[in-house]
């Protein structure tokens, strides 16, 4: 019953980076979804309307992101930028005054996506409050450019259960989780309320409703009907197909893979 994997996605919808350990912050792991690609009108772009984003590979040094895409020269993005230009990014119902970075970065991503886009950053001056009825009263929470919550947890046994029902098994990267646990029965995570990994406590808020991004092969960008079609046959709740759990951190600290996961409630 261990933490098997830690993954961050510095640029929303692009490929992830697996880590051996990470600090835990209120808005998510450091660097996780702190950059975002937006349309000219500010609407966020994801694999839902640009599946090629999954083939944009990222590595990180202490001060830079190194971004690669097939057939293009790598793009080096400084983690801190002298820019002070703010640009509004729209993520679902939230408007975030993000930091615009450079025309060079915009041009690099625009060529891949096939239209004019901007790369923006959530720096430390940007705050996106997380206001949900399901969160404890009397505390403030925030989130990065993630769809809804700072952390997403999946269970390896739940994926194994799904793969037993599929003609072609799929990897966990389809679900783009931050935390993968192992050693638990399939879908037991549905019933968790609080967990502890190392010294850090997390609140398990709600199941994650899945979208068509799960049907996109993260290596090729090709899509099919699976796994949503099969998941819908046994994981549908209130019209949504559920896989994985959304979390918020109740404390800060540092966690690492192969650490025991304790179910507190």
Judged against a pLDDT cut of 90, whether residue 139 lies above it is answered with no
Same domain for 239 and 257, yes or no, is yes
pLDDT digits (tens, 9 = 90+) for 169-222: 999 999 999 999 999 999 999 999 999 999 999 999 999 999 889 999 998 888
Given 67, 92, 121, which residue is the final one in a domain? 121
Residue 182 gets the label, from left (phi > 0), alpha (psi -120 to 50) or beta, of beta
**Cβ neighbours of residue 7 closer than 8 Å, sequence gap 6 or more:** 16, 17, 18, 19, 176, 177, 178, 179, 180
Q: Based on the fold, state whether residues 138 and 259 are members of the same structural domain.
A: yes
Element (H, E) at 165: helix 156-165
Cβ–Cβ < 8 Å for 126, 97: yes
- Is 203 inside a domain boundary? yes
Q: Which of 249, 28, 22, 6 is nearest to 122 (CA)?
A: 28
Q: How many domains does the chain have?
A: 2
**Proportion of the chain above pLDDT 90, given as a percent:** 85
Same domain as 104, residue 48: yes
> Residues near 124 by Cβ (< 8 Å), separated by ≥ 6?
none
Say if residue 55 is in the same domain as residue 103.
Answer: yes
Flag whether 81 is in a domain.
yes
Q: Are residues 188 and 63 in the same domain?
A: no
- Whole-model pTM: value is 0.94
Statement to judge: residues 182 and 197 lie in one domain? yes
Q: Is residue 99's pLDDT more than 90?
A: yes
Q: Identify whether the C-beta of residue 34 lies closer than 8 Å to the C-beta of residue 46.
A: no
Say which residue the tokens 């046959």 belong to.
233
* Contact criterion met (CB below 8 Å) for 3 and 200: no
Indicate whether 21 and 92 sit together in one domain: no
Mean pLDDT for 32-38 is 97
In a domain, 223, yes or no: yes
Asked if residue 106 and residue 185 are part of one domain, the reply reads no
94 domain-assigned: yes
The CATH number of residue 158's host domain is: 2.40.33.20
Residues 72 and 182 in one domain: no
What per-residue confidence (pLDDT) applies to 131?
Answer: 77
User: Is residue 158 in a domain?
Assistant: yes
- Do 164 and 231 sit in the same domain of this protein? yes
Residue that terminates a domain, selected from 61, 96, 121: 121
Residue 132 pLDDT > 90:
no
In a domain, 126, yes or no: no
What is the helix (H) or strand (E) element at residue 32, kind and residue range?
A: none
Q: Which residue segment(s) compose the domain that 42 sits in?
A: 35-121
* In a shared domain, residues 58 and 188: no
Burial 79-109 (b: 16+ CB within 10 A, else e): beeeeeeeeebebeeeebebbbbbeebbebb
Residue 171 lies in a domain: yes
245 alpha carbon, distance to own chain's centre: 12
Q: Check residue 135 and give its pLDDT.
A: 85
> Within 10 Å of residue 254's Cβ, how many Cβ atoms?
12
| Mode of pairing for the β-strands spanning 179-182 and 151-155 | parallel
Domain end (from 51, 86, 121): 121
160 and 257 assigned to the same domain: yes
Q: Is 133 a residue whose pLDDT tops 90?
A: no
pLDDT at 218: 92
Residue range 31-45: mean pLDDT, rounded: 96
Residue 24, in any domain of the structure:
yes
Residue ranges with strand state E in the chain: 2-8, 17-19, 21-24, 35-39, 57-60, 64-68, 75-78, 86-91, 94-100, 117-121, 151-155, 179-182, 194-197, 200-209, 236-237, 240-249, 253-256, 261-263
């Amino acid at each position: 019953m261990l933490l098997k994997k830690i993954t961050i996605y510095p640029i929303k919808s692009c490929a992830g980076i697996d880590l051996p350990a990470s600090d835990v912050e209120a808005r998510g792991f450091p660097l996780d979804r702190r950059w975002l690609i937006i349309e000219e009108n500010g609407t966020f772009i994801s694999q839902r309307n640009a599946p090629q984003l999954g083939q944009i590979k990222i590595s990180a040094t202490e001060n830079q992101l190194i971004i690669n895409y097939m057939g293009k020269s790598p793009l080096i993005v400084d983690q801190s930028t002298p820019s002070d230009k703010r640009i509004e990014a729209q993520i679902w119902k939230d408007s975030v005054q993000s930091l615009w970075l450079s025309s060079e970065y915009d041009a690099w991503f625009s060529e891949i996506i096939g239209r004019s886009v901007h790369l923006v950053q959530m720096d430390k001056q940007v705050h996106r409050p997380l206001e949900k009825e399901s969160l404890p009263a009397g505390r403030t929470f925030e989130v990065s450019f993630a769809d809804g919550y700072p952390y997403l947890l999946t269970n390896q046994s739940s994926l194994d259960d799904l793969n037993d029902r599929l003609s072609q098994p799929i990897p966990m990267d389809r679900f783009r989780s931050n935390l993968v646990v192992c050693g638990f029965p399939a879908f037991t995570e549905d019933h968790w309320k609080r967990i502890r990994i190392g010294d850090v406590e997390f609140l398990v808020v709600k199941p994650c409703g899945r979208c068509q991004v799960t049907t996109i092969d993260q290596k090729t960008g090709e899509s099919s009907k699976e796994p949503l079609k099969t998941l819908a046959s046994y994981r549908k709740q209130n019209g949504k197909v559920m896989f994985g759990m959304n979390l918020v951190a109740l404390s800060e600290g540092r966690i690492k893979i192969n650490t025991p996961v304790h179910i507190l409630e």
